[in-house]
């Protein structure tokens, strides 16, 4: 009997009672290896003693202060820590409670930037198909999955979508990475010209596509080209690193790999590692100055933003990652995981692609390797793999093909940064059994 509304109403999830390191225990005493960090959240694993100690200390000192009245040392320190090695030009941090809030704030900052600078007609948002930016109405509109939006039409805001950079699915035979990157990025320029450059506010994209397509990395100089197109037409670039940021790819900010800096950058999941709900939007000096020189106010806010407990969790998690040099482990273990997946599934008749960066890896399943045809979505292969994996004490993050039918089911792996080679062998072995 439950009085909670679960997302899957007829099959409530198992009941977790405790978690430590990389494993969970449920109320039946079964244990599960957390090979997905929940949804790429738990970067330090569970019950990390230093994070718990930092939370206790903060709770004893100051649990809550509304940002309309006070700032706090811990929030200031976290912001300084995040900006210290942020992509060039990002100068300020807006602290929130999760990923969707961070995306909403970024969309509104982009819109307000243009009203502050006398260009209120710049209101269009361009995003990519096969992307996920959150479930609140603005973030939902930006996301590229038609089936997620379908029940909520007409949306309060409509975004415009272009093709993602998804080499496995979209790169043509004989086309070089560089030519494909140019073609994929060119879609943005075409869309900007179609809408009219002086009506476009921002383009939003995930540097590594997470939940929707499964650890899809861009090829060639795709993001450098995207940055150049945005600059050419005065369009703001929002990078959504809610899932792929905060070290998940082996780089603190995923866009470091691409060698570009956005105007706005969203982070969440790994920021607090699951110890508290927290997200943030990082903004550039240019946007900050427009607000400061204009109305002097960002027209937004949430009751729990800048929450001291959340900031304490974020600060402690990020300090441990830096001190223990865990990003080196993410890079090393990411390479190990990819190699193990290649060795285990490389020849599998129904594995079409194995891809990712750092501890953000995915296996895409297809009905036919040659044609790359996905399985019939009605088979719900991803849901079966999830339950077969859970039955074997393994938490992975599978997702089904989208309604546009252009990709297969995939299984996303995003284990905590403390994972070892032996853990990864166990994870790969159990996943092979489940598949
Ligand atoms: N953006 C991306 C890229 C995400 O992966 C997610 C969550 N999966 C969100 C935004 C929304 O974050 P939240 O669920 O914390 O609202």
How confident is the model over 340-344, as a mean pLDDT? 98
> pLDDT grade, residue 146 (50/70/90)?
confident
pLDDT of 379 above 60: yes
Residue 378: per-residue pLDDT: 87
In angstroms, what is the C-alpha Rg of the chain?
A: 21
Beta bridge partners of 19: 24
DSSP annotation of 144 reads -
Structure confidence by residue, pLDDT tens digits, 313-330: 999 999 999 999 999 999
Residue 147: per-residue pLDDT: 84
Residue 402: per-residue pLDDT: 65
List, chain by chain if needed, residues with CB within 6 Å of any ligand 1 atom: 39, 98-100, 103, 132-134, 206, 210-211, 240, 242-243, 268
> Ligand 1 centre and the CA of 74: distance in Å?
24
**CB-based contacts of 128, cutoff 8 Å, min separation 6:** 144, 161, 162, 163, 164, 205, 209
> pLDDT grade, residue 403 (50/70/90)?
low
Fold agreement between 16-47+325-434 and 52-323? no
The CB density around residue 170, as the number of other CB atoms within 10 Å, is 15
In angstroms, the CA 255 to CA 240 distance is 10
- Per 3-state DSSP, the chain is made up of helix, strand and coil in percentages (nearest 5) of 40, 20, 40
The residue whose CB lies within 8 Å of the most ligand 1 atoms, and thus the one to mutate among 136, 208, 243, is 243
Residue 192: per-residue pLDDT: 98
How confident is the model over 78-93, as a mean pLDDT? 98
Mean pLDDT value across the chain? 96
In angstroms, the CA 153 to CA 151 distance is 6
For 305, the 3-state DSSP assignment is: coil
> Ligand 1 centre and the CA of 107: distance in Å?
14
First to last CA, the chain: 32
Q: Which residue CA neighbors atom 14 of ligand 1 most closely? A: 99
Q: What percent of the chain has pLDDT over 90?
A: 93
Beta-strand ranges (E) seen in 206-338 are: 208-209, 216-217, 236-240, 264-267, 279-284
> pLDDT grade, residue 407 (50/70/90)?
confident
In angstroms, the CA 334 to CA 356 distance is 9
Residue 89: per-residue pLDDT: 98
Structure confidence by residue, pLDDT tens digits, 29-41: 999 999 999 999 9
Q: Which of these CATH numbers, 3.40.50.970, 3.90.1150.10, 1.10.4010.10, 2.40.30.10, describes 16-47+325-434?
A: 3.90.1150.10
Residue 204: per-residue pLDDT: 98
CATH number of 52-323: 3.40.640.10
> Ligand 1 centre and the CA of 406: distance in Å?
22
Residue 281: per-residue pLDDT: 98
In angstroms, the CA 260 to CA 184 distance is 17
Structure confidence by residue, pLDDT tens digits, 44-70: 999 999 999 999 999 999 999 999 999
ipTM value > 0.90:
yes
What are the domain boundaries of the chain?
Answer: 16-47+325-434, 52-323
Residue 405: per-residue pLDDT: 60
Q: Is the dihedral of CA 372, 373, 377, 378 positive or negative?
A: negative
User: Could you tell me the pTM of the whole model?
Assistant: 0.98
Answer yes or no: are the C-beta atoms of 412 and 243 closer than 8 Å.
Answer: no
pLDDT of 278 above 90: yes
> Ligand 1 centre and the CA of 402: distance in Å?
17
How confident is the model over 99-128, as a mean pLDDT? 98
The residue whose CB lies within 8 Å of the most ligand 1 atoms, and thus the one to mutate among 268, 304, 397, 414, is 268
Which atom of ligand 1 is least distant from the CA of 131?
A: 3
Which atom of ligand 1 is least distant from the CA of 206?
A: 3
Which atom of ligand 1 is least distant from the CA of 243?
A: 5
């Amino acid at each position: 009997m439950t009085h909670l509304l679960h997302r899957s109403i007829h099959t409530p999830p198992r009941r977790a009672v405790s978690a430590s390191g990389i494993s969970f225990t449920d109320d039946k005493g079964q244990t599960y290896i957390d090979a997905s960090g929940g949804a790429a959240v738990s970067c330090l694993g569970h019950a990390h003693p230093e994070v718990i100690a930092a939370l206790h200390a903060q709770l004893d000192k100051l649990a809550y202060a509304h940002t309309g009245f006070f700032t706090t040392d811990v929030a200031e320190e976290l912001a300084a820590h995040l900006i210290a090695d942020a992509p060039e030009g990002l100068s300020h941090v807006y602290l929130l409670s999760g990923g969707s809030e961070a995306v909403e704030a970024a969309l509104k900052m982009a819109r307000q930037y243009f009203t502050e600078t006398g260009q209120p007609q710049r209101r269009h948002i361009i995003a990519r198909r096969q992307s996920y930016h959150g479930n609140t109405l603005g973030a939902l509109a930006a996301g590229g999955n038609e089936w997620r939006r379908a029940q909520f039409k007409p949306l309060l805001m409509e975004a415009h979508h272009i093709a993602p950079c998804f080499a496995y699915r979209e790169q043509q035979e004989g086309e070089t990475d560089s030519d494909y990157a140019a073609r994929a990025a060119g879609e943005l320029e075409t869309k900007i010209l179609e809408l009219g450059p002086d009506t476009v506010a921002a383009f939003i994209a995930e540097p590594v596509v997470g939940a929707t397509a499964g650890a899809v990395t861009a090829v060639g100089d795709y993001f450098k080209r995207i940055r150049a197109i945005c600059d050419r037409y005065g369009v703001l670039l929002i990078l959504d690193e809610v899932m792929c940021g905060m070290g998940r790819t082996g780089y603190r900010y995923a866009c470091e790999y691409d060698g570009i800096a956005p105007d706005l950058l969203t982070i969440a999941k790994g920021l607090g590692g699951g110890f508290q709900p927290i997200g943030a939007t990082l903004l550039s000096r240019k946007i900050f100055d427009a607000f400061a020189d204009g109305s002097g106010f960002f027209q937004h806010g949430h009751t729990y933003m800048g929450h001291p407990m959340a900031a304490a969790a974020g600060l402690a998690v990020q300090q441990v990652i830096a001190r223990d040099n865990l990003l080196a482990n993410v890079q090393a273990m990411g390479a190990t995981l990819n190699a193990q997946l290649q060795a285990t599934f490389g020849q599998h008749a129904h594995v079409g692609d194995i891809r990712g960066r750092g501890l953000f890896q995915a296996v895409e399943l297809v009905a036919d390797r040659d044609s790359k045809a996905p399985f019939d979505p009605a088979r719900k292969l991803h849901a079966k793999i999830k339950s077969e994996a859970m039955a074997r004490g393994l938490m992975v993050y599978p997702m089904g093909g989208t309604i546009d039918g252009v990709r297969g089911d995939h299984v996303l792996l995003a284990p905590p940064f403390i994972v070892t080679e032996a853990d990864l062998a166990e994870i790969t072995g159990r996943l092979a059994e489940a598949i």
